[in-house]
Amino acid sequence: MCVTFLYTRAPGVTNTPWKLIILNSRDEVLARKTSGAAWENGILAGRDEEAPDRGTWFGVNRSGKAGILLSITEPKAAKNPQAPSRGAIVTDYLHSPVGLDAFTANLVTASTQYNGFQFVGIEPSKDSFRVRSIAHKYVSVVEPLEWEYGIHGFGNSPPSMPYKKVTHGVDLFEKAVRAARNEKELVEGLFSVATDTTSCAPDHQLELQTGLDGAHCEFLTSLFVKEHLGYGTRSHSIYLVSDSNEAVFIEKRLTSEGSNIDGVWETTEFRFNLS
């Protein structure tokens, strides 16, 4: 039940020093082997160490590209166990010599081989950033969507039918962005959004996609998913890009076994300039 919220500043706007703000939270089986964010082959990302291709859910590179992969929730019986790993989509994008338009067009063609996913791609453009996404299940047409400058939220359903917690999170994210007077306040505000435990039940879209009744999927309706049967929120990532192309990537991840409520969380920070 991962979520991503992002802000892209329109060219000419001067009311904030950040032209790109991204908040990503990853929910997963807590025991799944995962490495923390690190630079590897030109990509800064955490890695899924149990996938053969060691893909990622969120990564960036020094040229300004960023890629996010969210699964589209499906009943277990609907998934193809032989489908390729979706995490490689992000690393493929960040390594690709082609731009966002060509990459997403090619991904539409290739999408049928995967289990359900939503890809969000970001690239520099006109003193800001462009955003395109592809949702691959529960849509009548699989096609790239171009997003206007501003604030948007993405989760494990198509944007046209968001989970309630994504809508709730967009409101919290917007308030955090507007209230921040400096980087410290912004980071604190974004982590507050990521750890919000407000229940957004009942969520009929979530029930539809999981095939479960409300009582069995209610624990998934909050932004921060408390550990339940070994599953829950296990990392948060913040990515900021300033006017001068100074980038900050902050990851907070669960490093202990068991509960994510009273477990050990480790924070790592990277600062670099986009080229």
pLDDT tens per residue, range 132-176? 999 999 999 999 999 999 999 999 999 999 999 999 999 999 999
Q: How far apart are CA 90 and CA 56, in angstroms?
A: 6
pLDDT at residue 75, rounded to an integer: 86
Q: Do the beta carbons of residue 61 and residue 42 sit within 8 Å?
A: yes
Among the listed ranges 11-15, 56-60, 175-179, 194-198, which one has the minimum average pLDDT value?
Answer: 11-15
Could you read off the pLDDT of 201-234 as tens digits, one per residue? 999 999 999 998 989 999 999 999 999 999 999 9
pLDDT at residue 30, rounded to an integer: 95
Q: For residue 226, what are its two tokens?
A: 């408390």
Q: For residue 148, what are its two tokens?
A: 């206007």
- Residue 1 pLDDT > 80: no
Closest CA to 39 of 23, 62, 18: 62
Q: Do the beta carbons of residue 56 and residue 78 sit within 8 Å?
A: no
Average pLDDT of the chain? 96
pLDDT at residue 126, rounded to an integer: 83
Q: Do the beta carbons of residue 44 and residue 251 sit within 8 Å?
A: no
pLDDT at residue 202, rounded to an integer: 97
pLDDT at residue 145, rounded to an integer: 98
Residues 6+ apart with CB under 8 A from 240: 18, 20, 21, 22, 183, 186, 247, 248
Give the whole-number percent of the chain exceeding pLDDT 70: 100
Q: For residue 68, what are its two tokens?
A: 């996010």
Domain architecture of the chain: domains with CATH: 3-161+231-273 (3.60.60.10)
Could you read off the pLDDT of 100-116 as tens digits, one per residue? 999 999 999 999 999 99
Its sign, for the CA torsion 189, 29, 239, 117, is negative
Of residues 182 and 78, more confidence is placed in: 182
Q: For residue 17, what are its two tokens?
A: 């020093």
Q: Do the beta carbons of residue 3 and residue 155 sit within 8 Å?
A: yes
pLDDT at residue 258, rounded to an integer: 86
pTM beyond cutoff 0.85: yes
pLDDT at residue 106, rounded to an integer: 97
Which residue type is seen at 57? Answer: W
Which residue type is seen at 73? Answer: T
Q: For residue 146, what are its two tokens?
A: 């171009």
Q: How far apart are CA 218 and CA 230, in angstroms?
A: 15
Going edge to edge, which strands form the sheet with 3-8?
150-154, 3-8, 18-29, 231-242, 246-254, 265-273
pLDDT at residue 102, rounded to an integer: 98
Phi, psi of 63 (to 5 degrees): -85, -5
Q: How far apart are CA 59 and CA 187, in angstroms?
A: 18
Give the whole-number percent of the chain exceeding pLDDT 90: 91
Of residues 85 and 165, more confidence is placed in: 165
pLDDT band at residue 199 under the 50/70/90 scheme: very high
Q: How far apart are CA 142 and CA 163, in angstroms?
A: 19
Q: How far apart are CA 164 and CA 217, in angstroms?
A: 13
Q: For residue 249, what are its two tokens?
A: 């990537």
Closest CA to 21 of 272, 196, 242, 191: 242
